Structure 1
């Protein structure tokens, strides 16, 4: 995996790429969340930088990530931690976690890979989700749609 300067636009872009690909694929709703939430502007990264880093990230993953099945790549916690460790500024960490949450929440389903990225970011950076959430977390109700969690990650 290539190295980027700590707290650089490239390091922030790779965290965005990590969030976009944490569930194993690029989802249109997650891509649309970038503009809907103004993520590039909030993180001070240009669309061209983000595009370049996403391509570099995919190339790096093909070289170093585990691939138990054809066309499927698994990210381990050590790799996730290594990528997240490139963000050291507490302010940038908070902004990055907010972006990760916005991206992974775009499709209304939190997969195991996305949960790992959020959990590792919170743990490594010492952040609480309530500090970055844009909406109030409410208890589940029968009549309203809720965030779905991939059941395989709960066992």
Structure 2
């Protein structure tokens, strides 16, 4: 996997890409959630840069991931740990967990891969659902900027 600076917009975007692909495919509901919550802008990226990070993530997965019995590409725990470790600021971790939850719940069902990602992030970051319960949906994900109002569902 490529390396991005810790807590950088690219590191956060790659985690969003991981959440988008956690169930094996990007769902239309997930794309709509990205647009509705203005995720790309809130990550501190423009659309072209976000698309580049997602493309690079997919390329890296094809090179470094394992193929499951169904042929689906799967990342091992060590790789997921490394991706999660690129987010270190405790407040950004809470906001990113909130973002991941919004993405994986966009289609109204939680697939196995999505559940594994959420539980792994919570364990790695020492967070639980109470930690993000009061986190406004999609606040600014970068440090030192003002927060945006919550977007109701």
Bin for the TM-score computed over the shorter chain = 0.7 to 0.9
- Pairing 1:106-117 to 2, within 5 Å after superposition: 106-117=106-117
Calculate the TM-score normalised by the size of structure 2.
0.81
Map Cα deviations across residues 63-95 of structure 1 (whole Å, 9 max, x no partner).
010013575111222211111110001111111
Q: Does 1:45 align with 2:42?
A: no
Match of 2:68, SS state, is strand
1:42 touches 1:95 (CA, 8 Å); kept in 2? no
Match of 2:67 in 1: 67
Q: Residues of 1 paired with 2:49 and 2:70: CA distance?
A: 29
Match of 1:120 in 2: 120
| Unmatched runs of 5 consecutive residues or more in structure 1 | 136-155
Match of 1:132, SS state, is helix
| Unmatched runs of 5 consecutive residues or more in structure 2 | 136-153
- Label 1:74 to 1:19 Cα distance change in 2 as closer, same or farther (>3 A): same
Q: Residues of 2 paired with 1:26 and 1:126: CA distance?
A: 27
- Pairing 1:5-154 to 2, within 5 Å after superposition: 5-69=5-69, 71-133=71-133
More deviation, 111-120/40-49: 40-49
* Greater share of residues in strand: 1
Match of 2:73, SS state, is strand
Q: Residues of 2 paired with 1:29 and 1:95: CA distance?
A: 20
User: CA-atom RMSD, angstroms?
Assistant: 1.8
1:22 touches 1:114 (CA, 8 Å); kept in 2? yes
1:66 touches 1:75 (CA, 8 Å); kept in 2? yes
- Label 1:134 to 1:37 Cα distance change in 2 as closer, same or farther (>3 A): farther
| Bigger Rg, structure 1 or 2 | 1
- Label 1:107 to 1:123 Cα distance change in 2 as closer, same or farther (>3 A): same
